Amino acid sequence: METQTIENKEIATKVTEKISGSEAIVRCLIAEGVKIIYGYPGGAIMPVYDELYKYQDKIHHVLARHEQGATHAAQGFARISGKVGVAIATSGPGATNLVTGIADAQIDSTPMVCITGQVASHLLGSDAFQETDIVGISTPVTKWNCQVTRAADIPAVLAKAFYIAKSGRPGPVLVDITKDAQFEDFDFSYEKCTKIRSYVPIPKTVIGSLEAAAKLINTAKKPFIVWGQGIVLSQAEEQFKALVEKAGIPAAWTILGASALPTSHPLNVGMLGMHGNYAPNKLTNECDVLIAIGMRFDDRVTGKLDEYATQAKVIHFEIDPAEVDKNVKTDVAVLGDAKVTLEAILPLIDENSHEEWHQQFKNLYEIEYEKVIKGDLYPTKEGLTMGEVIKEINIQSKGDAAIVTDVGQHQMIACRYAEFNKTKSNITSGGLGTMGFGLPAAIGAKMAAPEREVVSISGDGGYQMTIQELGTIFQQKAAVKIVVLNNDFLGMVRQWQQMFFEKRYASTEMVNPNFVAIAEGYYIKAKKVTKREELAAAVAEMMASKEAYFLEVCVEKEGNVFPMVPSGASVSEIRLE
C-alpha cells in the first residue's frame, strides 16, 4: 500500500521547465532513446538544428547528401536494429524529398519518425517561400501524420508519433512543425505514450482460431509454410523455428522474410515469388494446407490470384486485420503478434516429418540446380555472373554479413544466393522497389550495428540514383563495403524488353562513368574487377578492410535472372529459361 502511495505521488508530480519548441523536439528524441538521426538542414528547421548543436553529446546527427538518402539511412537503421529510425528535413523540397523513403517504409512496415520544419503558422496557405502541404502529400504513405502549430503540443504529438511508428504493424509517421512553434517557449514535460483511444495495434487472438489452425496442420498431408517479415518484426524467430521443426513442414520466404530461418536449415526450401525458387513456387499449387505467417500475399508472391493455391486450406497468422482476405481467401485467420500466436499454437501441434512431401521439393530443386543454379554459381562461359560474385561474398563473410541491396537483377540474385546465418541480415526494398535504396540504407545499417559486416550490393543504375551518399560514408567514416555489379544496362527492364518486347532495348543501355575514380574522389579505397581470376582476391581484400571499400565487378551484359514467373501468370507457370 505504501508503494502504491509513492507511485501515485510520482505520477501526480509532473516536473516542468520553460524551454523553446525546438529544444523540446530534441529533448523528446532523447527521452525516446534516440541516439542517431539522419537529415539535412534548411530555413524552416534551423531552430532545431541550433538545438542539436547544443546536444551533440546525446544525439549524433548524420548529414545526408539528399533528404531521400536520409530516409533510406533511417530505414536501414530501423531494419537491422528493430528500433525507430529518425529523419529530419526542412519545409518545401526538403520535405517532399522524404516522400519516396516514407512510401518505401510504409509498404515494408518499417518504423520511422520523420520531422519536417514548416513555414510560420500565419503564412500557412499563402504559398510562402518553401511552403508545401507535406501533411496532405504524405497522408497516403504514412501510418499517421500531424501538423503542429503550438509549442505546447510538441511533446504529446512526438510521444504519440513514436508509439504509433513502433507498435503493432510498424510504419512511418510524419510530424510537421511550424517555425513559430519551434521558437515559442512553453512549460515542457514529457511522458511516453503507451495507449491511444480507439487504436488497437495488436488484435485479440481468438483461442478457437488457434485450435482450428492446429487441427488443419495436424491432419495435413502436404502442409506448406510461407513466411514474411512479420517473423522478424515480432522477434519470433525462435518460436517460428520450433514450429517448423516440430511439425516438419517445408517453409519458404518472401524477400523481406529472408534470414528469419538460416539459409542452411534443412526445412528452409527457398524463396517465393517472381524470381523465387522453382520448388516452392510450383508446389504452392499442390499443397493441401498453406500456412502464411507474417506476410501479406503480395502480387509478386502470388502471381495470378485466381490460380493461386486454390486447392489448399489457407491459414493466415497476421497482426493487421486489413491484410486478412485482402488478396487470398483465408479458411482460418489467427490474429495477433506472431511471437505470441506461434508460442500459443506450439503445444497444440503434433510432431511430424512429411518425408515424401519433402522429397518433392528436393526433386524440383535438382531440376532448378541443373538448369539455373549451376550456371549462375559455377559458370563455364567467359563473362562473370552476378551469382558467382554473391557466392564469393558468402565464402569470405561465412554467411554472417548483413546484405543490403538496391533494386533490380542484382537484388534478386543476392536474395536467391546470399547465405544468411543471422536474422535481420537481408535489408532490401520490397514492396515499393526503390532504386537508390541500397547505398544509404547500408549507411544506416552499419551505424546501427557497427559490429556487423555490412555489404551494399547495387546495380550500375540504382547506384547512381543515390551515389552522392558516398560523401556521407566518407564524412561519417562508415565502414560499408560497396559492391556494384555493372552490366552497363538497367538489367531488369532490359530482361523484360528481351523477353516480352522483342529485344527493343529502349533507354536501358547505360553509358557509365569511372566508378572507381568517383569512389576515390570521396577518399574511399576502390578496385575494379573484369576477370574471373581477379574476383576472389578482390573480395577478400574488400572484406578484410577496416574502412569503407568500393568494388566494381563487370558482369555479363545480357545475363538474365531465372526462374521467373511472367507477369500475370500462375506460379505453376514458372519458367527456368
Cell numbers 532490359 label which residue?
494
Contact call for residues 444 and 70 (beta carbons, < 8 A): no
- Residue 130 — left, alpha, or beta (φ > 0 → left; ψ -120 to 50 → alpha)? left
Bridging pattern class, strands 185-188 and 17-20: antiparallel
Report how far residue 41's alpha carbon sits from residue 535's, in angstroms, rounded to the nearest whole number.
41
Report how far residue 553's alpha carbon sits from residue 389's, in angstroms, rounded to the nearest whole number.
8
Which of 35, 129, 191, 362 is the catalytic position?
129
Which of 130, 360, 468, 498 is the catalytic position?
130
Q: Cis (ω within 30 of 0) for the bond into 379?
A: no
Give, for 482, the enclosing helix (H) or strand (E). Answer: strand 481-486
User: φ, ψ for residue 304 (rounded to 5)?
Assistant: -65, 115
420 is catalytic: no
Report how far residue 297's alpha carbon sits from residue 324's, in angstroms, rounded to the nearest whole number.
9
Which of 67, 131, 184, 469 is the catalytic position?
67
The identity of residue 369, as a single letter, is Y
366 is catalytic: no
Which of 112, 271, 447, 492 is the catalytic position?
492
Which of 143, 160, 166, 179 is the catalytic position?
179
How large is the greatest C-alpha to C-alpha distance in the chain, in angstroms? Answer: 81
Q: Where are the alpha helices (DSSP H) in 318-459?
A: 338-345, 355-368, 374-377, 386-397, 409-417, 438-448
Cell numbers 548529414 label which residue?
63
Spatial CB neighbours of 264, under 8 Å, sequence gap ≥ 6: 399, 419, 421
130 is catalytic: yes
Q: Mark 405-417 as b/e (b = at least 16 C-beta within 10 Å).
A: bbbbbbbbbbbbb
- The cell for 326 is 485482402
- Residue 82 — left, alpha, or beta (φ > 0 → left; ψ -120 to 50 → alpha)? left
Cell numbers 510504419 label which residue?
171
The contacts found for 369-373 with CB under 8 angstroms, 24 or more apart, are: 371/562, 371/576, 371/577, 372/278, 372/562, 372/563, 372/576, 372/577
Cell numbers 503564412 label which residue?
123
Assign 3-class secondary structure to 489-517. Answer: ECHHHHHHHHHHCCCCCCCCECCCCCHHH
Report how far residue 200's alpha carbon sits from residue 314's, in angstroms, rounded to the nearest whole number.
25
Report how far residue 327's alpha carbon sits from residue 305's, in angstroms, rounded to the nearest whole number.
7
Give, for 78, the enclosing helix (H) or strand (E). Answer: helix 67-81
The DSSP string of 393-414 is HHHHHTT-SEEEE-SSHHHHHH
Report how far residue 53's alpha carbon sits from residue 60's, in angstroms, rounded to the nearest whole number.
9
Q: Quick one: 136 exposed, middle or buried, by C-beta within 10 A (0-12, 13-18, 19+)? A: exposed
Enzyme catalytic residues:
67, 129-130, 179, 492
